[in-house]
Amino acid sequence: ADRLQTTENARRRFVSDASHELRTPVTVIKGYSDMLSRWGKQDPETLQEGLTAISSEAEDMQELIEKLLFLARADQKRQIINKEVVEMSQLIEDVFKKLELTATRHEVALLQNDAGKIFADKVTIKQMLRIFLENAMKYTPAGGEITLSSIRLPGYLKVEIADTGMGIAPKDQEKIFQRFYRADTSRSKGDEQPGGTGLGLSIAQWIADQHDMGISVESALGQGSKFILMMPLCDA
């Protein structure tokens, strides 16, 4: 009964947090559409500003809803995982090529890419790596460095995603994997810093758990962060 109660409480908190997160973009969209209907028809500048803002808020909302749906499917054990033998050096190569195209504000490097096979779902593993890399880009000022490396160890492939960004305070390091948790330092929505949802790392954690992978963090405020994934090899 206790366990059921805990699950029920977590479910309620999830629904309440999700509603709360959706409220802001909806309020902004409503505000801009009211503005447009009052003044947008006459003034082209107001019109453009309103349309841009609505489109950007809708995009954030879409992203948030995709993440909520992923977690809902995961909770209901409906998230599809198709495991096969995957050569990680190939997958990392693919992910890195895309990173090079998207990371226009940062220096990126693939430091090491050892061969190694894991038994995994390609789609979600890529999704997990993208979450770490997108965070590295989000929380690292322009000009900073983002590196990826994959190192073969006995029984494991150690995959590291490192940045030279704002870092994570020790008190936050455990909590960042909780749903909706965001460190105070990253809450201020500056120009350089797009606001997040606090859901990325909980999705990454779920994907890692499905593959018996461990995640650890090394970080110092103002110096950067390194996320380390220990992936069990199936060709060890």
Shorter beta-carbon distance to ligand ADP: residue 25 or 50: 25
CB of 198 to ligand ADP, least distance (A): 4
Residue 152 Cβ, how far from ligand ADP at the closest point, in Å?
24
Choice between 2 and 184, CB closer to ligand ADP: 184
Nearer residue to ligand ADP within complex by CB, 50 or 200: 200
- Tell me the residue number closest to ligand ADP, measured at CB: 196
Residue type, 150: S
DSSP H or E stretch at residue 231: strand 224-232
CB of 66 to ligand ADP, least distance (A): 12
Whether residue 146 contacts residue 163, with contact meaning beta carbons closer than 8 Å, is answered with yes
Nearest-approach distance from CB 18 to ligand ADP, in angstroms: 14
CA dihedral 201, 202, 204, 208 (to 10 degrees): 130
CB 186 within 8 A of CB 165: no
- CB 139, CB 169: distance < 8 Å: no
Nearer to ligand ADP, 35 or 71 (CB): 71
Q: Which of 123, 132, 134 is nearest to 91 (CA)?
A: 123
Q: Are 128 and 207 in contact (CB under 8 A)?
A: yes
75 vs 114, which CB is nearer to ligand ADP?
A: 75
Contacting residues for 13 by C-beta, under 8 A, at least 6 apart: none
Choose between 129 and 199: whose C-beta lies nearer to ligand ADP.
199
Output the smallest distance, CB 202 to ligand ADP, in A. 6
Q: 77-81 long-range CB contacts below 8 Å, 24 or more apart?
A: 79/206, 80/121, 81/121, 81/124, 81/210
Binding site for ligand ADP (CB under 6 A): 131, 135-136, 138-139, 163, 165-168, 176, 181-183, 186, 196-202, 225
Strands 107-113 and 145-153: parallel
Q: How far is the CB of 69 from ligand ADP (least distance, A)?
A: 16
